[in-house]
Amino acid sequence: MKNKILELIKKNKKYRNISDDLILGKLNKFDLREDLGKREIEGIVKEVRSELHKSYGSFQVGKKKRDKLFEKEDWVGIIKTNVSTKERLDYYKKIYSMIWEITGKPRRVVDLGCGLNIFSFDFMGLNNLEYYGYDISKDDINLINKFIKINSGLNGKAYVWDALSADLTKIKKCDVLFMFKLLESVIKNYKFIEKMILDLKNKCKYLVVSFATKKLSGKRMKYRERRWFEYMLERLGLNYRTFEVENETFYII
């Protein structure tokens, strides 16, 4: 039954390049008995696809073009194939400059829910970087590892990883740890986020978290929709500074 539901989920081409193991892990919470009815199966497929969409699908466009863009070494073109990185394109240099001003230039960066961030390496102003990316898309991870391999200024590796079920003890220690828009998919699970922040703070000197300032509909979010995060950081006794670009607010913790 589990494999049958996996096949149904992946019939939607949006989710075909997501690791089978990650999807199967999400199915563990369901009672997948062999006599499940059609409506029950459809409900499970819908729920899992919804989770995947929040953490991956809503940010992806134009994946078929990436191999051709990679052959041309068109890194800006690749950045434009992901909604979040495309939004940052005009601001990447400012974003990294603002972060490094506080953290200092890092030797090792960990990027959780990395998407295609590393293709903005030219905007980082770093001569040498050890980079570890973690994301749910195996196709993106393969592309990132190819990029790291051919770039003389980079070393490290990218891994298939699901923020909602991953073992954080396996995350490598680093100078700066990015979580750009990662918490959007778990925004209502405040206890989970609090534990995640505390666990990750032991892995890095600085933790950089960002949130969208606009909803997918394009409507601007109100300030109070992120105030809960500041209350949490203050309650945990964590110091932070913030800055904002066009569509994103950043917290350097």
Q: What is the pLDDT of residues 53-68, one digit of tens each?
A: 655 544 454 566 888 9
Contacts for 173 with CB less than 8 Å, ≥ 6 apart: 108, 203, 204
Higher-confidence residue: 180 or 84?
A: 180
**Contacts of 193 by beta carbon, 8 Å cutoff, 6+ apart:** 183, 186, 187, 229, 232
Most confident of 47-51, 53-57, 206-210: 206-210
Model confidence at 21, in pLDDT bands (50, 70, 90)? low
Contact predicate 173/144, CB 8 Å: no
214 Cβ neighbours under 8 A, 6+ residues apart: 220, 221, 247
* For range 98-102, the mean pLDDT: 97
Tens digit of pLDDT for each residue in 113-170?
898 999 999 999 998 999 999 988 888 899 999 999 999 999 999 998 876 666 788 8
Give the C-alpha separation, 233 to 235, whole Å. 5
User: What's the average model confidence in pLDDT over 14-30?
Assistant: 69
CA–CA distance, 22 with 206 (Å, rounded to integer): 28
CA pair distance 46, 49, nearest whole angstrom: 5
Residue with tokens 């995350």: 171
Number of neighbouring beta carbons within 10 Å of residue 236:
12
Encoded amino acid at 52, one letter: L
At residue 238, the pLDDT reads 96
Secondary structure string (H, E, C) spanning 91-154: CHHHHHHHHHHHHCCCCEEEEECCCCHHHHHHHCCCCCEEEEEEECEHHHHHHHHHHHHHCCCE
How much is the pLDDT for 226? 78
pLDDT at 58: 42
Rounded CA gap, 76 and 69, in Å? Answer: 9
pLDDT for residue 185: 62
Distance separating alpha carbons of residues 199 and 169, to the nearest angstrom: 8
> CA dihedral in degrees (153, 157, 159, 165; nearest 10)?
-90
Query: Backbone phi, then psi, for 179, in 5-degree steps?
Result: -140, 75
Q: Is 214 helix (H, G, I), strand (E, B) or coil?
A: strand
| Between 204 and 46, residue with greater pLDDT | 204
Topology (CATH) of 63-252: Rossmann fold (3.40.50)
- pTM for this prediction: 0.77
Average pLDDT estimate for 177-186: 83
